[in-house]
């Protein structure tokens, strides 16, 4: 029913994964060279998709769609 919400949740987890990849010690040289970019990209993904899930939740609450 809320397939978009599950997709957004998966995108948030992917954002966390991007941030974690940059903090792992022993990462390959090509990852460490773009670590700042991956961290920013992960943070943006987390924020954008968290806001999208909040928007869906507010729509459901206002329309009383949980019943």
Helices (H), 24-65: 29-33, 35-63
What pLDDT was estimated at residue 66? 54
pTM for this predicted structure = 0.77
Cβ pair 8, 45 in contact under 8 A: no
The token duo for 12 is 């948030």
Kindly state the greatest CA–CA separation across the chain: 52
| Nearest-angstrom CA–CA distance, 26 and 67 | 49
Q: For each successive 10 residues of the chain (67 residues), what is the average pLDDT?
A: 81 90 73 83 94 88 70
Confidence (pLDDT) at 27: 66
């Amino acid at each position: 029913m809320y397939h978009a919400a599950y997709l957004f949740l998966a995108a948030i987890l992917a954002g966390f994964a991007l941030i974690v990849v940059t903090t792992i010690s022993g990462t390959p040289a090509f990852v460490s060279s773009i670590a700042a970019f991956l961290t920013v990209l992960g943070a943006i993904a987390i924020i954008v998709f968290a806001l999208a899930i909040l928007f869906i939740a507010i729509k459901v609450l206002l329309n009383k769609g949980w019943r």
